[in-house]
Chains A and B, each alone.
Chain A
Amino acid sequence: MAAYDVVIIGGGPGGYNAAIRAGQLGLKVACVETRATLGGTCLNVGCIPSKALLHASELYELAREDFAGFGIDATVKLNLPAMLKQKDDSVAALVKGVEFLFRKNKVDWIKGKGVLAGEGRVQVTDPGGKTTMLETKAVVIATGSEPAPLAGVEVDQIRIVDSTGALSLPEAPKSLIVVGAGIIGLELGSVWRRLGAAVTVVEFLPRITPGMDEEVAKTLQRSLSRQGLVFRLATRVTGAKAGDKGVQVTVEPVAGGDAETLSADYVLVAIGRRPYTEGLGLEAVGLTTDARGFIETEHGRTAAPGVWAIGDVTHGPMLAHKAEDEAVAVIERIAGKAGHVNYDVIPSVTYTFPEVATVGKTEEELKAAGVAYKVGKFPFTANSRAKVNHEAEGFVKVLADATTDRILGAHMIGPDVGEMVAEWCVAMEFQAASEDVARTSHPHPTRSEALRQAAMGVEGWTMQA
Chain B
Amino acid sequence: MTDIMTPTLGESVTEATVARWTKKAGDPVRKDEVLVELETDKVSLEVVAPEDGVLTDIAAAEGETVEPGALLGRVTAGADAKAAPAAPKPETAAAPPPTEEAKAAPARKAPSPPAQAKTPSAISEATPAPAEPARTAAQPILAPSAARIVEENALDAGAIAGTGKAGRITKGDALAALEARASAPQAEKAVQVAVAPREAGPREERVRMTRLRQTIARRLKEAQNAAAMLTTFNEVDMSAVMGLRNQYKDVFEQRHGVRLGFMSFFVKAAIAALKAVPDVNAEIDGTDIIYKNHYDIGVAVGTDRGLVVPVVRDADALDLAGIERTIAELGRKARDGTLSLDELQGGTFTISNGGVYGSLMSTPILNAPQSGILGMHKIQDRPMAVGGQVVIRPMMYLALSYDHRVVDGQGAVTFLVRIKEHIEEPSRLLLGL
A433 near B171: Cβ-Cβ < 8 Å: yes
Interface residue A440 (Cβ < 8 Å from any Cβ of B): yes
Contact with B along A65-81 (1 / 0, CB 8 A): 00000000000000000
Q: What is the distance, in angstroms, from A198's C-beta to the closest C-beta of chain B? A: 50
Interface residue B340 (Cβ < 8 Å from any Cβ of A): no
The B contact surface, by secondary structure, is: helix
A433: which B residues are within 8 A, CB to CB?
A: 143, 145-146, 170-172
A439: which B residues are within 8 A, CB to CB?
A: 144-145, 148
A432: which B residues are within 8 A, CB to CB?
A: 143, 145, 170-171
B175 near A430: Cβ-Cβ < 8 Å: no
Contact with A along B163-176 (1 / 0, CB 8 A): 11100101110011
- Among A404, A429, A440, contact of B170 (Cβ-Cβ < 8 Å): A404
- Which residues of chain A from 83 to 124 have any CB-CB distance to chain B below 8 Å in the complex? none
Q: What is the distance, in angstroms, from B176's C-beta to the closest C-beta of chain A? A: 8
B145 near A403: Cβ-Cβ < 8 Å: no
B144 near A430: Cβ-Cβ < 8 Å: no
Q: What is the distance, in angstroms, from A339's C-beta to the closest C-beta of chain B? A: 16
Interface size on B, residues (CB 8 A): 14
Interface residue A126 (Cβ < 8 Å from any Cβ of B): no
- Which residues of chain A from 420 to 465 have any CB-CB distance to chain B below 8 Å in the complex? 429-433, 435-436, 439-440
A154: which B residues are within 8 A, CB to CB?
A: none
A403 near B175: Cβ-Cβ < 8 Å: yes
A430 near B172: Cβ-Cβ < 8 Å: no
Contact with B along A176-196 (1 / 0, CB 8 A): 000000000000000000000
Interface residue A5 (Cβ < 8 Å from any Cβ of B): no
Q: What is the distance, in angstroms, from A317's C-beta to the closest C-beta of chain B? A: 22
A435 near B172: Cβ-Cβ < 8 Å: no
CB-nearest residue of chain A to B163: A431
B172 near A403: Cβ-Cβ < 8 Å: yes
Interface residue A405 (Cβ < 8 Å from any Cβ of B): yes
Q: What is the distance, in angstroms, from B335's C-beta to the closest C-beta of chain A? A: 35
A436 near B143: Cβ-Cβ < 8 Å: yes
Q: What is the distance, in angstroms, from A430's C-beta to the closest C-beta of chain B? A: 5
B144 near A436: Cβ-Cβ < 8 Å: yes
B171 near A436: Cβ-Cβ < 8 Å: yes
B143: which A residues are within 8 A, CB to CB?
A: 430, 432-433, 436
Most A CB contacts (10 A, CB to CB) among B148, B172, B175 go to B172
Q: What is the distance, in angstroms, from B201's C-beta to the closest C-beta of chain A? A: 36
A406: which B residues are within 8 A, CB to CB?
A: 170-172
Most A CB contacts (10 A, CB to CB) among B143, B163, B172 go to B143
CB-nearest residue of chain A to B172: A404
A405 near B163: Cβ-Cβ < 8 Å: no
Interface residue A146 (Cβ < 8 Å from any Cβ of B): no
16 contacts between A and B (CB under 8 A): A403-B172, A404-B171, A404-B172, A404-B175, A405-B145, A406-B170, A431-B163, A431-B164, A431-B165, A431-B172, A433-B143, A433-B145, A435-B145, A436-B143, A436-B171, A439-B145
- A405-B172, A406-B172, A431-B172 given; 14 more Cβ-contact pairs under 8 Å: A401-B172, A403-B175, A404-B175, A404-B176, A429-B165, A430-B143, A430-B164, A432-B171, A433-B145, A435-B145, A435-B171, A436-B144, A436-B171, A439-B145
> Chain A residues in contact with chain B, CB under 8 A?
401, 403-406, 429-433, 435-436, 439-440
> Chain B residues in contact with chain A, CB under 8 A?
143-146, 148, 163-165, 168, 170-172, 175-176
The 5 closest A-B pairs by CB, nearest first: A404-B172, A433-B171, A435-B145, A439-B144, A433-B145
